[in-house]
Amino acid sequence: MSVWGVPERVEPPVDPVDELDALVGRLEFQRTTLLVKCGGLTPEQLVFRAVPPSRLSLLGLVRHLSGVEAWFHEYDGQPDHLYYWNYVHGSTTSFEELDPTRAADDLASYRASVARSRAAVAAVGLDERSPGEDYTLRWIYLHMIEEYARHNGHADLLRECIDGATGE
């Protein structure tokens, strides 16, 4: 992999059909924003820790959000996703031990995690509680939008330090 591609990002509708459409649209926009901020960079740039002493990197954020998607995975009743980087539920090591030669694997893992999330909640109502938890799907969508927005802000700063690119 020489550089990560830049996906097309669609702005969510300003007048969504309903609450679920609004939540899904905004989360999809945030998911794609993360990939846009990584687009066009080499694996070496993706692992660069541009804001010392922070351990954050763009690839670390992608790996972290692969794991955070597990909030949705609870609904499908399947075992935890075994990420390429040996994700352990609750682990804080997604920002450590970055390997640029595994960047394509990390991207594939992220995409697999997001695809699993979409499938896991495709037929679930917003008021349904997460198995074994006290969170509704509505709360999880809101939490995930917040999580992505926070980390996309981090990604903005990292990207600007790497090559000067700024923007949405």
168 residues of the chain, pLDDT tens digit each: 688 888 889 899 899 999 999 999 999 999 999 999 999 999 999 999 988 888 899 999 999 899 899 899 999 988 876 665 555 555 556 667 788 998 998 999 999 999 999 999 999 999 999 998 899 999 999 999 999 999 999 999 999 999 998 876
Backbone angles phi, psi at 4, to 5 degrees: -75, 140
How far are the Cα atoms of 58, 92, 94, 116, 118 from residue 64, in angstroms, in the given order?
10, 8, 5, 16, 18
Residue 68, φ and ψ in degrees, nearest 5: -65, -30
Nearest-5° Cα angle at 62, 130 to 35: 105
Task: Report the alpha-carbon angle 84-39-67, nearest 5.
Answer: 30
Tell me which DSSP letter residue 74 carries: G
Helix (H) or strand (E) holding 22: helix 19-38
- CA dihedral 92→59→28→83, nearest 10 degrees, is -60
Ramachandran bin of 167, using left for φ above 0, alpha for ψ from -120 to 50, beta for the remaining angles: left
* Structure confidence at residue 45 (pLDDT): 96
Four-residue CA torsion sign, 105, 69, 19, 26: negative
Contact 95, 143 (CB under 8 A): no
Angle between helices 137-163 and 19-38 (to 10 degrees): 20
- The pTM of this model reads 0.91
The pLDDT score that the predictor gives to residue 116 is 95
Q: Tell me the sheet residues that pair with 136.
A: 129
